[in-house]
Amino acid sequence: MTDLVAVWEVALSDGVHKIEFEHETTSGKRVVYGDGKEEIRREWMFKLVGKETFTVGATKTKAAINIDAVSGFAYEYTSEISGKSLKQYIENRIVLEKDTMDVWCNCQKMETAGEFVEDGTETHLIVADHSCCIKAVNSGKQKEGIIHTFIMDNRDIPEAVE
């Protein structure tokens, strides 16, 4: 990766993923890597600005990298996840890894405290001075399994639709 110009880390429901982007401004070459694996390679692009779209992770979450000219031969690279800018996406993103029960907020692994309660489990954490809890209860239906609810300041927060 000799022309690496940008690196992003994004926390999705299946873990944290690293997106790397190479852009060679002489030839226009563009290469996108997801978790070290080459996702897109374009050689000899005459148009140096534009957008590259791809998917990230096992969930195949839609992603894009925008290439914009700032001035002369300076370029700005921004990324989108599920149609939102990565900054906006990160600011609004709390992810529970269901296999490990790790909780991620703004791409940071959070310190949590778990406890068993009468109808399931609760995982407690603090996000920006807000008391939060992820409650896991059995749905009582085999096909549904466990239902997770995110609670912030004693209010249920609906799950984001991707």
Q: How many alpha carbons lie under 13 Å from residue 44 in its C-beta half-sphere?
A: 0
Angle at 19 between CA 17 and CA 23, to 5 degrees: 175
Q: Assess whether pLDDT exceeds 90 at residue 133.
A: yes
Count of Cβ atoms closer than 10 Å to residue 49 Cβ: 12
Contact 102, 95 (CB under 8 A): no
The arithmetic mean of pLDDT across residues 136-162, rounded, is 85
Q: What is the pTM of this model?
A: 0.61
The arithmetic mean of pLDDT across residues 31-47, rounded, is 91
Report pLDDT for 2.
67
Between 90 and 97, name the one with better pLDDT.
97
For the chain, what is the largest distance between any 2 Cα atoms, rounded to a whole number of angstroms? 64
Mean pLDDT of the chain: 87
Q: Residue 31 — pLDDT band, cuts 50, 70, 90?
A: very high
Contact 125, 109 (CB under 8 A): no
111-156 is classed CATH 3.40.50.2300:
no
Angstrom distances, CA of residue 91 to CA of 11, 48, 86: 11, 30, 8
Tens digit of each residue's pLDDT (9 = 90 or more) over 3-24: 889 999 888 878 889 999 999 8
The CATH topology of domain 4-89 is Lipocalin (2.40.128)
Enumerate the domain spans of the chain. Answer: 4-89, 111-156
The arithmetic mean of pLDDT across residues 100-107, rounded, is 83
